[in-house]
Amino acid sequence: MNGAHGPTTGCCHRHTAGTATAPAATGTLRHEHEVILRALALLEGLGRDLEAGRTVDPAALAALVDFFATFTDRCHHAKEEQHLFPALERRGVARRGGPVGVMLAEHAEGRALLEGLRAAEPGRAAPAIQRFVTLLRAHIDKENSILFALADQLLDDAEQGRLAAAFEALEQQAGGPGVHERLLAGLERLEAAAGVLDVRALPPRERHPRIFSRFDALAPGTGFVLVNDHDPKPLYYQLAAERPGAFSWQYLEQGPEVWRVAIGRTA
């Protein structure tokens, strides 16, 4: 292990979404934000490649644009616009000049940027990618920290449950049965092609088996970037015990929200 890049002390397991205690509706939307952030990380990587003059697979860019049009806009934003925002307005949250109005304006701006991105020649798409990524990250941050916090104060469990059921119905209508799983599997394929394994959406018990199977499928001299929501130090020690001398480990990002580790197969 490289001392300069090895695990630091402490291992923080945080469970922000999908837990038994998370409010039903805002918990779902927060979880979807995590998925959207993964897609944004991939899109940002394509933008960086374009800026550096590297070749980008136009099919990967088109698949990401489709993902944002379907998962982000037709499913996620529609849940907010058709169900969450009206519920908040009924409880006195202002649309005009208030947080709901700001969120709606940002959804419209994102839609326009996405259409621009779809029409852009891939070689010239870097500035539009940067604007879209910046807008959506800031938007998600505002919703998580301001709007959803407000919703959790204003909406009781029964209302959260009604909204969650309405979300489910909307999703089926927008994309048919299993649309969420299909889109997620598509995102995982794009991540795999980009050399990324993001385990944040997986239940904790499934994470190490998934990482080991990805590692064992690597050819010597290749690797992937692991993305997790806590310091994956226990994984380092498990690899050291079970694949001694066969892996490299370098932290690329060390929290506080996201950890990225380049894991390579050396033998």
User: Which residues sit at the interface with Fe ion, rule CB under 5 A?
Assistant: 143
In angstroms, what is the minimal distance from the CB of 171 to Fe ion?
14
Residues contacting residue 10 through CB under 8 Å, at least 6 positions apart:
231
User: Minimal distance in Å, beta carbon 191 to Fe ion?
Assistant: 21
Closer to Fe ion at the Cβ: 17 or 197?
Answer: 17
* Strands ordered across the beta sheet of 259-265: 196-198, 223-228, 259-265, 247-254
Residues 199, 228: contact at Cβ < 8 Å? yes
Q: How far is the CB of 149 from Fe ion (least distance, A)?
A: 13
Min CB(143)–Fe ion separation in Å:
5
Q: Which is nearer to Fe ion, 143 or 231 (CB)?
A: 143
Q: Tokens 């498990």 appear where? A: 238
Rg over CA atoms, the chain: 20
Complex with Fe ion: residue 143 or 171, whichever CB lies closer: 143
Closest separation in Å from C-beta 64 to Fe ion: 18
Cβ–Cβ contacts within 10 Å for residue 134, how many? 13
Reduced 3-state DSSP string for 1-25:
CCCCCCCCCCCCCCCCCCCCCCCHH
Judged by beta carbon, residue 167 or residue 215, the one nearer Fe ion is 167
Residue with tokens 């202002």: 94
Closer to Fe ion by Cβ: residue 143 or 198: 143
Cis check for the bond before 99: say yes or no (omega within 30 of 0). Answer: no
- 77 vs 207, beta carbon nearer Fe ion: 77
Min dist CB 152 to Fe ion, Å, is 14
Residue with smallest beta-carbon separation from Fe ion: 143
Would you say 99 or 264 has its CB closer to Fe ion?
Answer: 99
Listed in sequence order, the DSSP H helices in 22-156 are: 24-51, 58-67, 78-79, 85-90, 99-119, 126-142, 148-154
Task: Name the minimum Å distance from CB 13 to Fe ion.
Answer: 25
Q: How far is CA 146 from CA 35, 102, 103, 141, 228, in A?
A: 19, 12, 11, 8, 24
Quote the tokens at residue 139: 């938007």
Q: Give the integer Cα–Cα distance in Å for 114 and 189.
A: 21
